[in-house]
Amino acid sequence: MKQKETLSTTPLKEEHIDLSNLLIEEMGDEHKASSVDTPLRADAFDKTDEEKIAAIAPHFKAIMEILGMDLRDDSLRGTPVRVAKMYVKELFQGLNPANMPSMTLFENKFQYNEMLVEKNINFYTNCEHHFVPFFGKAHVAYISSGKVIGLSKLNRLVEYFSKRPQVQERLTMQIGKALQTVLQTQDVAVMMDAKHLCVSSRGVKDDSSNTITSFFGGKFQEEKRKMEFLKYVDINE
């Protein structure tokens, strides 16, 4: 981990964390046994984004044609490339560790030792079983071990792991474990409350159900802390 040199006049000591290295090096072994990892092939990033877009488009075109659609239609013509671009550059760009957000830590100058809760972080992701969206709110909390992180970084981290084909359980754990690594503490909690279009728009067509998943690390496994977090989050709100 690189520690940025700071002048004595600098009020806050900053520490830049290269999350991609941390996750691969520090979490790598643990991942294998826990299935927290997104299943990726060894050659996942041999192709550039542009090569992937060029390769996906004809396949998506084939799906549309097999379904019987006439690709000569003005409205449909651009769809295969549009979808390929959206997959690679937007919806699934979080597969590539090169797109991990940079994380900057600060010294906990104010000695704030209670939990910090960032609630109602909107997220959109896609179910890896049906490739349709599931989306909702993420609630994230940690107790500082001496370092604090910019609040927007919590949103960025949720967004990064959401931009993969996902299952909600894995998404929740990936965010929790990444936060533990970045913040150098076990004391992290994550709760995700989501609607799955593969449940509401097809299949059983249940429009009213939500799926809730949670991750409680370190002190958040204590009943008192867990209840405090749940009180702040109050998902029935």
- Known catalytic residues are 127-130, 168, 196, 198
- Could you give phi then psi for residue 199, rounded to 5 degrees? -100, -40
Single out the residue of 196, 224, 226 nearest to residue 208, CA to CA: 196
Q: How far apart are CA 148 and CA 110, in angstroms?
A: 10
* In the complex, minimum distance from the CB of residue 6 to Zn ion, in angstroms, rounded to a whole number: 47
Chain residues in the site for Zn ion (CB under 5 A): 127, 129-130, 198
CB of 14 within 8 A of CB of 99?
Answer: no
How far apart are CB 129 and Zn ion at their closest, in Å? 4
Q: Which is nearer to Zn ion, 163 or 225 (CB)?
A: 163
Q: Are 62 and 119 in contact (CB under 8 A)?
A: no
Q: What's the closest the beta carbon of residue 91 comes to Zn ion, in angstroms?
A: 14
**Smallest distance from Zn ion to CB 85, Å:** 23
**Nearer residue to Zn ion within complex by CB, 89 or 130:** 130
* Pairing, β 115-127 against β 165-166: parallel
- Cβ proximity to Zn ion, 13 vs 130, nearer residue: 130
Q: Which is nearer to Zn ion, 59 or 129 (CB)?
A: 129
Q: How far apart are CA 103 and CA 178, in angstroms?
A: 11
Q: How far apart are CA 174 and CA 1, in angstroms?
A: 20
If the CB atoms of residues 87 and 216 are measured against Zn ion, the closer one turns out to be 87
Residue of 142, 135, 105 lying closest to 121 (CA atoms): 135
Alpha helices in the chain (DSSP H): 19-34, 49-66, 74-77, 79-85, 151-162, 168-183, 197-200, 223-233
**Shortest distance, position 20 Cβ to Zn ion, whole Å:** 28
